[in-house]
Amino acid sequence: MNKVLDVIKSRRSIRRYLPDPLGQEELDAILEAGAYAPSAHNDQPWHFTVIRNRELIDRISRVSKERMAAQDTGWIREMGRKEDFHLFYHAPAVVVVSMRRDALSPLVDCSAAIENMLLAAESLDVGSCWIGLAGYWFSLRDEVARLGLPEGYEPCYAVALGRKGHRPSRALPRKAPPPSFID
Ligand SMILES: Cc1cc2nc3c(=O)[nH]c(=O)nc-3n(C[C@H](O)[C@H](O)[C@H](O)COP(=O)(O)O)c2cc1C
């Protein structure tokens, strides 16, 4: 099978990581792949913050969980209260993806960048997981100030990256209905 198609079908969310740090070269390659995503009006309205500081990674997890534990939605509340749950699964690196607020289509563009990063990571046998739950931390202005983001940017998602601590089976067949063709 074509290599790109194989990577697309092999990628899975990794939820256990080895503590080993990633090499700078592979990290750079993953970030560069993110920056090569398409974007509306070619705005490229993303900013990537790579956090390798264990204390900050753990802090984001802890503070997010505190907020999750107070939510009405049962599964989020339960995850927040679970002692052994770590928002980033103890990954050694977390990329916070921030979007430029005044761009044409910032959230979609940043999501395209994230998918590029996940696929690039898989192609290098680096584990990754898209982390939306970091939004509980992103909504705290004083906390986000720690990222030192450029003016006009706000974080939207995070990506956990690291050496795979487990190897899930290949993805199950997709649930969505098959495409329709109109010829
Ligand atoms: C917008 C978005 C947010 C997500 N947030 C989380 C998250 O906070 N934690 C997590 O473990 N997985 C998260 N995921 C990963 C999905 O759970 C995962 O992609 C899905 O279950 C399919 O599994 P696969 O990635 O192994 O194919 C998120 C995915 C997307 C697209």
pLDDT in tens, 102-124: 999 999 999 999 999 999 999 99
> Ligand 1: which residue has its CA nearest to atom 28?
130
Q: Is the distance from CB of 130 to CB of 159 less than 8 angstroms?
A: yes
> Taking the model in full, what pTM does it have?
0.98
Average pLDDT, the chain: 97
* Position 126 pLDDT exceeds 90: yes
Q: What per-residue confidence (pLDDT) applies to 172?
A: 87
| Substitution candidate for ligand 1 out of 129, 136, 167 with most atoms within 8 A of CB | 129
* Rounded average pLDDT over 139-166: 98
Q: What per-residue confidence (pLDDT) applies to 30?
A: 98
pLDDT in tens, 19-53: 999 999 999 999 999 999 999 999 999 999 999 99
Residues 6+ apart with CB under 8 A from 46: 34, 35, 37, 39, 97, 98, 99, 100, 106, 109, 110, 113
Cβ 21 under 6 angstroms from ligand 1:
no
Structural domain boundaries of the chain? 3-163
Q: What per-residue confidence (pLDDT) applies to 1?
A: 77
CATH architecture, domain 3-163: 3-Layer(aba) Sandwich (3.40)
Cβ 85 under 6 angstroms from ligand 1:
no
